[in-house]
């Protein structure tokens, strides 16, 4: 009988620690999201050809620059455009040719389905930021084609200018809201 009791105690003693190890535990998983925002300009150098008399008579343009700007934003957003100077630089010096003769003409399309249309408006360059693209969509990659135009109405500013290269820097800014 003592042997049976010892055997039962031994079995209970061996089983008890393994039973104590059976159970459950909790863990907390935390997901941290950041807003996803990017604005990429595909064509960093843009030329408007003014070497023909037709450009002075009828205006000039770059032609449609496909996917010139790509916007990725997890919130509704706006895009503004401005220049760093009010006048074009001519061979490194400030000229009297205003940057406001150039019109920025956006055309928006999307790589994915969008909820609402993207609003665009044609604007003339300025040193003041001007909103020219607005979107209430979230989380979509949207491509914006751009045509830079010197309209016929502004070509009189080009007459009697010294030959050479005129340039300015354009800054696009993504504004989530």
> pLDDT tens digit string along 87-113?
999 998 999 999 999 999 999 875 555
For residue 1, what pLDDT is reported? 58
Domains of the chain: 40-176 (2.60.40)
What region, left, alpha or beta, does residue 153 occupy, with left being phi > 0 and alpha being psi -120 to 50 degrees? alpha
Rounded to 5°, angle at Cα 74 from 68 and 79: 40
- Residue 58, token pair as written in the block: 């009828």
Q: Is the sign of the CA dihedral 10, 16, 19, 20 positive or negative?
A: negative
Strand partners, 176: 77
Whether the pTM exceeds 0.75: the reply is yes
* Total residues found in the chain within this entry: 177
pLDDT tens-digit readout, 115-165: 667 899 999 999 999 999 998 877 667 899 999 999 999 999 998 999 999
- State CA 104 to chain mean position distance: 16
């Amino acid at each position: 009988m003592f042997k049976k009791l010892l055997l039962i105690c031994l079995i209970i003693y061996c089983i008890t620690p393994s039973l104590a190890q059976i159970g459950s535990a909790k863990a907390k998983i935390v997901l941290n999201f950041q807003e996803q925002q990017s604005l990429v300009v595909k064509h960093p150098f843009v030329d408007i050809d003014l070497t023909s008399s037709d450009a002075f008579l009828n205006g000039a343009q770059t032609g449609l620059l496909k996917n010139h700007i790509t916007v990725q934003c997890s919130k509704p957003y706006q895009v503004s455009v401005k220049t760093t100077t009010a006048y074009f630089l001519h061979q490194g010096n400030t000229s009297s040719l205003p940057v406001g003769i150039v019109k920025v003409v956006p055309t928006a399309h999307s790589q994915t389905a969008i909820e609402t249309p993207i609003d665009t408006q044609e604007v003339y360059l300025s040193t003041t930021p001007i909103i020219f693209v607005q979107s209430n969509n979230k989380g979509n990659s949207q491509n914006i084609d751009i045509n830079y135009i010197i309209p016929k109405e502004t070509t009189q500013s080009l007459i009697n200018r010294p030959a050479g290269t005129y340039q300015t820097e354009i800054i696009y800014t993504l504004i989530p809201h």
